[in-house]
Amino acid sequence: MNNSIWIVFAVFFPILCGVAVLLLPVFRERIKLLRATGTVLVVTAVLALLVVCGKEQELLLLQFGENLKLYFHVDGLGRLYAVLVSLVWVLAGIFSFEYMKHEQEEKRYFGFYLIVYGVLLALAFAGNMITFYVFYEIMTLTSLPLVLHTRTRDALMAGMKYLFYSLCGAYMVLLGIYFMNQYAATLDFTAGGSLDMARVSGHEGVLLVIAFFMILGFGVKAGMFPMHAWLPTAHPVAPAPASAVLSGLIVKAGVIGVIRTVYYVIGPEFIRGTWVQTVWLILTLTTVFMGSMLAYRERLLKKRLAYSTVSQASYILFGLALLQPQAMTGSLLHIVFHAIIKSCLFLSAGAIIYRTGKTRVDELTGIGKQMPATIWCYTFASLALVGIPPASGFISKWYLATGSLESGISVFSWLGPVVLLVSALLTAGYLLPITIKGFLPGAGYDYKSLKKLEPAKTMTIPLAILAALAVLLGVIPNPLTAYISGIVSAVL
């Protein structure tokens, strides 16, 4: 069998199975629904690994004229994202089996959950900007039901906001694709960029504006200021496992879009030293600080974590905007680490909500006594996000700070590390008090009424795996760092 056929299986198998779950009445029986979902998740993960572990592959699906084609090509960045998607999607899916008991319409949830898995793998394996854009739009539409799932007024308003912002961003990107089709030698992803400088000559100013629109357009999904407002509205209203994958992976799809645009189509040299780079750096640092401050002030736990994602995603975008190898290495590391960490934090919040019904931070005094395993997982993930060595967040932030200092960009070379340090202190301020008050509730706590509320193993095991990875990837970072360095050296 042609190895490239595995790409088709990995992408379309979960999509077709998800459609079957939505349409077939047999899956109204819960046990059959869970068995089918678990099987599809595992089989798809295996198929994705077969693609990732194979040789560099490509597959043409459809051709529309000379330059317009749906085309898969497996490269280093795609492999990294595909493995990350599969890891988090399977673990959050297993967590959902228990969690979704207290939600309605499980059939609808798991159907769309499987469909989005396949769509994200298509994004990972996209070989050109046309393919990426098509599946990026499909991702928005198929992930919308995860946001709308509870069908409350807040969920409906959040879903509409998510759709409006996403479509605004998508139109900016589509505008950019029209222009890039005119001025790029190819829309296929090419390390270092594919602009035809002979065509570009005399039109540099227009293309810089287009480059900025594309960065801002993909930055919508990544929660970059000023297009961030959908994220703290949409993530908290979704079921906790959906919030985990929205924050950990779908936000990263926007980041991957930025990387593909800047490093694989436009080329970093074209925007280096221009007003586009300067404005991009300003927006990312503004978002880092603003997101951390809003998270620090927020009292709803899931909304606090959503604001945290606004901040942390712009750590990644800041490193990318520096156009510097060390900083880009830190950005790619933080894509992996943040996806694992934030998924663990959102699932921890989900476990708390599932067992206690508590949603506010000020209600969680003594929660560590009731749910010790859950709160220990939350604590290890929190320490990693703050950047306490040797946890994983320390490694990525070290590369980001070092890359900033070595970039030589006036003001930003020192301002970047300062903002990152302030944000880290704020991160400790909004995450760690939950641990401290959870395990040390104080003299007024009623120990006599203490009840153990630890959730089922199908919830605690995924939490434990994610928490362990959040620490171990910082203790043993060299294999991942070496792999990412290969990606960076190809484009810078």
Residue 383: the pLDDT is: 96
Residue 126: pLDDT band (50, 70, 90) is very high
159: nearest Cα among 149, 170, 147: 147
Task: Pick left, alpha or beta for residue 72 (phi over 0 → left; psi -120 to 50 → alpha; otherwise beta).
Answer: beta
Q: Is there a contact between 142 and 123 (Cβ–Cβ < 8 Å)? A: no
d(CA 127, CA 123) in angstroms, rounded, equals 9
DSSP character string of 397-443: HHHHHHHHHHH--TTHHHHHHHHHHHHHHHHHHHHHHHHHHHH---T
Average pLDDT over the chain, rounded to an integer: 92
Q: Which residues neighbour 257 within 8 Å (Cβ) at sequence distance 6 or greater? A: 132, 136, 173, 217, 218, 221
pLDDT of 333 above 80:
yes
25-29, 45-49, 293-297: which range is least confident on average? 25-29
The DSSP result for 331-366, as a single string, is HHHHHHHHHHHHHHHHHHHHHHHHHH---BGGG-TT
Say yes or no to pLDDT of 351 above 50. yes
The pLDDT of residue 295: 94
- In the prediction, which pLDDT does 318 show? 97
Q: Which of 61-75, 142-156, 254-268 has the highest mean pLDDT?
A: 254-268
**Stretch 147-169: mean pLDDT, rounded?**
90
**Is a pLDDT exceeding 70 seen at residue 386?**
yes
Whether 252 contacts 310, CB under 8 Å: no
CB 387 within 8 A of CB 397: yes
Stretch 347-371: mean pLDDT, rounded? 91
- CB 339, CB 248: distance < 8 Å: yes
Q: Is the pLDDT of residue 2 over 60?
A: no
Distance between CA atoms of 163 and 170, rounded to whole angstroms?
A: 10
C-alpha 162: how far from its chain's center?
Answer: 15
- pLDDT tens digits, residue range 173-225? 999 999 998 999 889 999 999 998 889 888 899 999 999 999 999 999 998 98
Q: Which residues pair with 62 in a beta bridge?
A: 70
* Direct distance between the N- and C-terminal alpha carbons of the chain, in angstroms, rounded to an integer: 36
Rg of the chain taking only CA atoms, in angstroms: 22
CA distances from 22 to 15, 17, 27, 108, 232 (A): 11, 9, 8, 6, 28
Task: List Cβ neighbours of 460 (8 Å cut-off, separation of 6 or more).
Answer: 351, 373, 374, 377, 454
Whole-number Å distance between alpha carbons of 149 and 55 = 39
Q: pLDDT tens digits, residue range 281-332? A: 999 999 999 999 999 999 999 999 999 999 999 999 999 999 999 999 999 9
3, pLDDT greater than 80: no
Q: List CB contacts of 23: < 8 A, sequence separation 6 or more.
A: none
Give 237-249 pLDDT, tens digit per residue.
889 999 999 999 9
Which residue in the block uniquely carries the two structure tokens 């399977």?
90
CB 285 within 8 A of CB 318: yes
Q: Is 15 or 5 the better-scoring residue by pLDDT?
A: 15
Answer whether residue 28 shows pLDDT above 80: yes
Residue 94's pLDDT band (cuts 50, 70, 90): very high
pLDDT at 1: 47
CA gap 200, 203 in Å, rounded: 5
pLDDT at residue 16, rounded to an integer: 96
Question: What pLDDT sits at residue 387?
Answer: 93
Q: Using CA atoms, how far apart are residues 200 and 56, in angstroms rounded to an integer?
A: 31
Among the ranges given (79-88, 120-129, 433-442), the one the predictor scored with the smallest mean pLDDT: 433-442
Higher pLDDT, 60 or 432: 432
Please give the pLDDT value at position 261. 96
Does pLDDT of 336 surpass 90? Answer: yes
